[in-house]
Amino acid sequence: MNAHTQRFTVAGAVGALECALDLPESTPRGLALVAHPHPLFGGTMDNKIAQTLARAFVSLGYAAVRMNFRGVGKSEGTHDAGRGETDDMDLLLAHMRLQYPDLPLALAGFSFGTFVQAQLQQRLIEQGKPAERLVLVGSAAGKWAMPDVPANTILIHGEMDDTIPLSAVLDWARPQDLPVIVIPGADHFFHRKLQHIKSFVVEMWHR
């Protein structure tokens, strides 16, 4: 993301996983895990929306960590339709907890990454240690079997998204009574609209 981004690897179930950590200028007040879009369609941890989410959390004082899913970049293994990717994100969380054992946790994702993070949050809830909040951009509702998410989840979607239609996200959010922030004119990749993602995350985080 910048010259100060720390690159490292963690040992996953099917091999090494490439990761990147960005830190705030002061002691971190929280830990944020950011998940990237679909690996089979060019998604990487350097995706501009994944980087935008990381920047938003760094500005909030969080240590922001991203990971290349299986088979992406220097990460070993092959795509596992979200199952192995959720396991790998859980491993990354365990690794980061060795450094930051007590910090509040945030989970953020874009597109396919929202599916992974929603599944991880469900797992953490079952373990009695949920993340404090989720940020889901371009939610994968309608593409994958998205589980329900907590009421304080921040959902951001593009009005003109033709990859994951806004109507599918509303159909998923409606039974949960979840508000959806709609960016007018934005497509799936938020071309020329990235600034809105960071602004909304930062503005709404402490609400």
Q: In whole angstroms, how large is the CA radius of gyration of the chain?
A: 15
- The residue-averaged pLDDT of 89-97 equals 97
Query: Cα–Cα–Cα angle for 93, 98, 101, nearest 5°?
Result: 85
3-state secondary structure of 36: coil
Return mean pLDDT, the chain. Answer: 96
- Domains along the sequence of the chain with CATH: 6-204 (3.40.50.1820)
Q: Is the distance from CB of 169 to CB of 150 less than 8 angstroms?
A: no
Q: Is the pLDDT of residue 36 over 80?
A: yes
Residue 200 has pLDDT above 80, yes or no: yes
CA 148 to chain centre: 16
Q: How far apart are CA 128 and CA 28, in angstroms?
A: 23
pTM of the model: 0.96
pLDDT at 158: 98
Mean pLDDT of 173-194: 97
Q: How many alpha carbons lie under 13 Å from residue 193 in its C-beta half-sphere?
A: 20
pLDDT value of position 206: 83
Run of H or E residues at 167: helix 166-173
Give the mean model confidence (pLDDT) for residues 73-86.
Answer: 96
